[in-house]
Amino acid sequence: MPVAWPGGSASLQPVTTLLLATRNAHKAGEIRAILGEGFAWLTLNDFPEAPQVIEDAPTFAGNATKKAVALAGWLGAGAPSSKLQAQGSRVFVLADDSGLEVDALAGAPGVHSARFAAMDAGKAGNSPDAENNAKLLRLLQDVPPDKRTGRFRCVLALAEVAPPGRCGPPHLFEGTCEGRIGFTPRGQGGFGYDPLFVPDGYEQTFAELGEAVKNTLSHRARALRQLRADLALEQVEAPENAGSP
């Protein structure tokens, strides 16, 4: 069943649906908590038939763009869409790529953050968080505290679902959070490298600080605040442009 395009109008409408291009429940929950109310939410778990997108770009922006464009195109071309029709008029795909850049490792693990440990064995897919953290600590075992600097980086790509031929380029939003890498995992919260990452201005790791604090400081939070402001601006501009030819 093809996607229903309300009135065929290209004028801006209030956002009603965000399809998060992830099956990671932690990531989806973090995005929803930061963006807040005002959206209908879907994830790739709602679309098990969605195409697999190989994240082989050399940059976060490249991977995020690749996912957003591929999924928006799939939906726009007439993918199963009953969930989208029930949600409202405007549908966006929101994809992200993010990871940890460690200065002492020349920016690694970078775009390979999620599969950092698996790369050693030539395995496909992501590695368990504990294995990624263990590899990072091994590589930094002789690095002193003042040289353990790094950052989390996140790039978001927002692509509107539209009929074939009417899809524009995605909007990109980037956020970073500077900090340093600890010597042992600490804390029970978060996911990924959170038990090792201590943001600037704090002595606790992201895993110790908790979700509420992390969601004001993190790389993803900073990128999402830019995205939210951009969407709000579009909604304000829409009534002004509604009568334009």
Q: Which domains does the chain have, with CATH numbers?
A: 14-241 (3.90.950.10)
Residue 79's pLDDT is 67
Better pLDDT: 196 or 121: 196
Distances (CA, A) of 31 to 9, 82, 130: 29, 24, 23
Which residues partner with 93 through β-bridges?
19, 159
Q: Report d(CA 111, CA 156) in Å as an integer.
A: 14
- Tell me the average pLDDT across 58-69: 97
Q: Catalytic residue numbers?
A: 97
Lowest mean pLDDT among 13-22, 49-58, 120-129, 183-192: 13-22
For the ranges 17-21, 89-93, 117-121, 185-189, the lowest mean pLDDT is seen at 89-93
Identity of the amino acid at 80? P
* pLDDT tens sequence across 85-138: 544 568 899 999 999 999 999 999 999 999 999 999 888 789 999 999 999 999
* pLDDT value at residue 110: 98
